[in-house]
Amino acid sequence: MADHIDSKDLKRIVEDLRRTHGENLASVVLYGSAAAGDFIEQRSDHNLLIVLAKITLEDLRLSEAPIREWQRLGQAMPVYFTVDELNHAADVFPIEFLQMEKARKVLYGSDPLVGMKISKTNLRHQTEYELRTRLIQLRRLYIAASTSGEKLSALISDSFASIAALFRPVLMLLGHEPPITKEESMRAIVRLVGMDRSLFERILEQRAKKELSLSEAEANELFAAYLVQIEQLIKAVNGIECR
């Protein structure tokens, strides 16, 4: 689980990276929940994009010490790109770059995402792929968790962040400017697609409390409704025509 970190921690990782990479370091960008303002302590990560002019194995080996310290604080492994790679990767990772574009803070260097263009066709393909993959994974994970209210509740809570992260690209595909926070995106999605707002608000409320305390029957009922909503969202994305 991720721990909350303060500005001193962010300054420290930036300074560590500057000492490690020197002039090869082009940018350090904070993105995701922490940058968006909807960070949930012990549930959200401070995601870092580290951009270098070039990346060799020696560059990655030297980064072991600062990254080890960063992970010691409970944070996720940063994402490394070269400046050139960022100029050619938007068609392969449209969702990831959309998330960075909509919620980011440049901690060092220039903003590497300025002027980045995301193809709507590529975005639709990846969004549907990610949604269908998560649905398949949830069905598989349900088998082991189905007889335990605690395990099933945890599965719902832990999986919601990855589902909610896809609300923003869906909104963009529907022609709407996506809000920054997951809660605002959820409200916009349920209005446009006709989904069950009360179900998602219940999950959000329980995630904020850091646990879902449900009986086996209650958890199964909630999980069934949860899958129906994901299936409905997939159907909506599948029906979007990109021109």
Tens digit of each residue's pLDDT (9 = 90 or more) over 71-110: 998 888 999 999 999 888 888 888 888 778 777 899 999 9
Decide which of 109, 144, 174 is a domain's last residue: 109
Predicted confidence band at 181 (pLDDT cuts at 50, 70, 90)? confident
At residue 138, does pLDDT exceed 80? yes
Statement to judge: residues 59 and 93 lie in one domain: yes
Query: What does the pLDDT average to over 162-166?
Result: 90
Q: Is position 126 within any domain?
A: yes
At 168 the pLDDT is 87
pLDDT at 2: 45
Same domain, 124 and 227: yes
Q: Is residue 177 part of a domain?
A: yes
Structural contact between residues 86 and 114, judged by C-beta atoms closer than 8 angstroms: no
Instruction: Report the CATH number at residue 221.
Output: 1.20.120
- Pair (126, 232) in one structural domain: yes
Domain annotation covers residue 2:
no
* pLDDT of the residue at 192: 92
Judged against a pLDDT cut of 50, whether residue 19 lies above it is answered with yes
Domain final position from 84, 109, 134:
109
Question: Which among 233, 126, 130 has a CA at the least distance from the CA of 188?
Answer: 233
pLDDT value for 15: 96
- Grade residue 210 by pLDDT with cuts at 50, 70 and 90: low
Residues 145 and 65 in one domain: no
Token pair, residue 42, equals 């012990």
The Cα 90–Cα 118 span in angstroms is: 6
Confidence of residue 16 (pLDDT cuts 50, 70, 90): very high
Within 10 angstroms of residue 36's Cβ, the number of other Cβ atoms is: 21
pLDDT band for position 42 (cuts 50, 70, 90): very low
Inside any domain, residue 114: no
Contact between residue 237 and residue 128 where contact means Cβ atoms under 8 Å apart: yes
Asked whether residue 196 is assigned to any structural domain, the reply reads yes
What pLDDT is stored for residue 119 in this prediction?
85
CATH code, domain carrying 85 = 3.30.460.10
- Max avg pLDDT among 34-43, 55-64, 88-97: 55-64
Q: CA 233 to CA 207: how far, in whole Å? A: 21
| Nearest-5° Cα angle at 234, 209 to 212 | 15
Are 68 and 97 in the same domain? yes
| Single residue among 90, 109, 128 that ends a domain in this structure | 109
Average pLDDT over residues 186-209: 87
**pLDDT for 40:** 41
Q: What pLDDT score does 43 carry?
A: 43
Joined together, the tokens standing for residue 147 give 């007889």
Distance CA 53, CA 43 (A): 32
pLDDT at 145 over 70: yes
Q: Over the chain, what is the mean pLDDT?
A: 87
Is the domain of 98 the same as that of 128? no
- Same-domain status, 170 and 79: no
Structural domain harbouring 156: 120-238
* E strand intervals along 47-151: 47-52, 79-82, 104-109
User: Does residue 99 share a domain with residue 134?
Assistant: no
Mean pLDDT confidence for 146-173: 91
Looking at the structure, do residues 133 and 211 belong to the same domain, yes or no? Answer: yes
pLDDT at 154 over 70: yes
**Which residue type does 195 have?**
M
If asked whether residues 181 and 202 sit together in one domain, one would say yes
Identify the bridge partners of residue 79 per DSSP, sorted by sequence position: 49
Same domain as 97, residue 46? yes
Count the domains in the chain: 2
- Tens digit of pLDDT for each residue in 119-137? 889 999 999 999 999 999 9
Position 37 in a domain: yes
Please report which confidence band the pLDDT of residue 41 belongs to, taking 50, 70 and 90 as the band edges. Answer: very low
Position 20 pLDDT exceeds 70: yes
Residue 243 lies in a domain: no
